[in-house]
Amino acid sequence: MSDINLETLIAYLQDELTAVDRAVVETYLQENPHGRDQLAEAQQLLDGLRANAGGLADPSPSLLSRAQAAFRQQMKRVTERPSRTADLQFDSWAQPMPLGARGVGGELQERHLLFHEGDHDLDLQVVNEPTADAVTMRGQLLGGADAPELEGIALSLRRLATGEERRGLTDGYGRFAFSQLEKGDYLLSVALQSHDMVIHLDAPTWAHPLRPDDCP
């Protein structure tokens, strides 16, 4: 049996196939280990679309095609694909903070970071979730007037201590989000057309800055 295409696997995951077509897919998955890898890829893609496009349930074929190509580019981990480290341009925690701008218990709950690389900027907001001892990362990829379309660009967020990887996709405005992240060192890779934009987020990114009365 030939490979089942991505659209069929997504329809399978969304329970949109007829009973006959569903049985064909399940037989294919049982008989082909490669098929299970394809299904995992389809699930990652669907999760990314839902997370970054407001619960999108019916992604367009063009978006699926671009997203599939971007995800496969990352999953192959082509060693010769160039990567460039983005430069930090702005850090809200490095700015003077007036009284009253701090969060509960004198700690900032949000941090705003701006990175630049080539023709792109990446606006990143890290939001602490004190009750869950976790963080949410929300971002937006911005390009110049001649930049390619920003929809469907694949992102990979890897926790360096464990190798655990989360994947996402930008929406039509270049936005993305990762939630319920444990604090630690991470590497964020953005699969641009010609190279990967890489951002290293170390553990202090998630820590709160010192309050004035904590300083020596």
Query: For residue 122, is it within any domain?
Result: yes
Domain annotation covers residue 209: yes
Which structural domain, as residue segments, surrounds residue 148?
83-214
Average pLDDT along the chain, 216 residues, taken 10 residues at a time: 72 84 89 82 69 52 60 54 91 68 51 92 87 84 76 85 84 85 90 89 64 41
pLDDT tens-digit map of 75-133? 554 556 789 999 999 988 887 655 554 443 444 578 899 999 998 999 999 888 766 67
Question: Mapping DSSP to helix (H, G, I), strand (E, B) and coil, where does residue 96 land?
Answer: coil
Which residues 6+ apart lie within 8 Å of 72 measured at CB? 41
126 and 39 in a single domain? The answer is no
Q: Please indicate, yes or no, whether residues 144 and 45 belong to a single structural domain of this protein.
A: no
pLDDT of residue 53: 47
Instruction: Give residue 47's region: left, alpha or beta (phi > 0; psi -120 to 50).
Output: alpha
Among 58, 76, 94, which residue terminates a domain? 76
Tokens standing for residue 200: 């290293």
Supply the pLDDT for residue 114: 94
Quote the pLDDT of residue 116.
95
Same domain, 53 and 122: no
Give the residue among 210, 166, 211 at the shortest CA–CA distance from 184: 166
Within-domain flag for 1: no
By the 8 A CB rule, do 166 and 157 touch?
yes
The pLDDT value given to residue 88: 93
Domain count, the chain: 2
Residue 190 has a CB neighbour count (10 Å cut-off) of 27
At residue 49, the pLDDT reads 61
- Whole-number pLDDT of residue 141: 94
